[in-house]
Amino acid sequence: PTRGQIDGEMASAILRGRHGTSVTVKLARRTEQIPGVPGRPASRGQAPEVKWRQVKLVRDDILLSPVYSELLTSPAEVKGREQLVTRTGYIKLTAFNQRAAAEVAKAIEDLRDQGADRFILDLRDNPGGLVNEGLDIASLWLQPNDVLLHTINNHTMNTVKLPETATPLDGDDPLVVVVNKRTASASEILAGALKDNKRARLIGAE
């Protein structure tokens, strides 16, 4: 940034702070109608007037959901005189944070309540995160004793399986997992577990 200016990272660092504390920001407005849009100059060659306003903001905890979900509907084949409609639950998972598994479970339940009978799990551009959250998400679709992953420690291979008491949230509906070259870490483990247990079909660039 030039002298007297700050970039986005610097502004973010200044704005962040402890819960309950406050920060005052100064906003520049060039028109009363649309913030940030230059107003028409009073005369040719004259710069738009800038009006300043100070706003006091109270810092708070913001919980970001890594999940976006949507019900996709489309007409299918015609059976007799009735045209069937497919209802696909689309779930986009952007990261594996502490809320990932709970948010995916909620999305599955909400979409099933809307009539979804098949699902798409979109892991494109997901860099990973907490591996345990990925395993918890896999357990939503897998069966007891299904293998989650293999680990090697001191030349010894260990197998991690779902416990016999595990109960899948959705063990039957068709599932497609979408990946690309930027699907990494916990995303790869999740996609691999679903594919290796023949629970999901993978599409996209690996």
Per mean pLDDT, which range of 25-39, 141-155, 179-193 is the poorest?
A: 25-39
**pLDDT tens digits along 171-197:** 789 999 999 999 999 999 999 999 999
pLDDT band at 61 (very low <50, low <70, confident <90, very high): confident
Residues 38 and 85 in one domain: no
Token pair, residue 176, equals 């497609």
Residue 121 within any structural domain of the chain: yes
Token pair, residue 162, equals 């779902």
Cβ atoms of 162 and 148 within 8 Å: the answer is yes
Q: At what angle do helices 131-139 and 100-113 cross, to 10 degrees?
A: 30
Q: What residue numbers bound the domain in which 30 lies?
A: 8-58
CATH assignment at residue 195: 3.90.226.10
Domain end among 58, 78, 100: 58
Instruction: Tell me the whole-structure pTM to 2 decimals.
Output: 0.70
CA 95 to CA 123: how far, in whole Å?
Answer: 9
Residues 75 and 48 in one domain: no
**pLDDT tens digits along 13-26:** 888 888 899 999 88
pLDDT band at 1 (very low <50, low <70, confident <90, very high): very low
Looking at 125-202, list the stretches that DSSP marks H as alpha helix, in order from N- to C-terminal side. 131-139, 186-196
Residues 139 and 180 in one domain: yes
Residues 45 and 136 in one domain: no
Percent of the chain with pLDDT over 90: 54
Q: Which of the pair, 42 or 106, is modelled with greater confidence?
A: 106
**pLDDT tens digits along 113-135:** 999 999 999 999 999 999 999 99
Residue 3 within any structural domain of the chain: no
Residues 31 and 86 in one domain: no
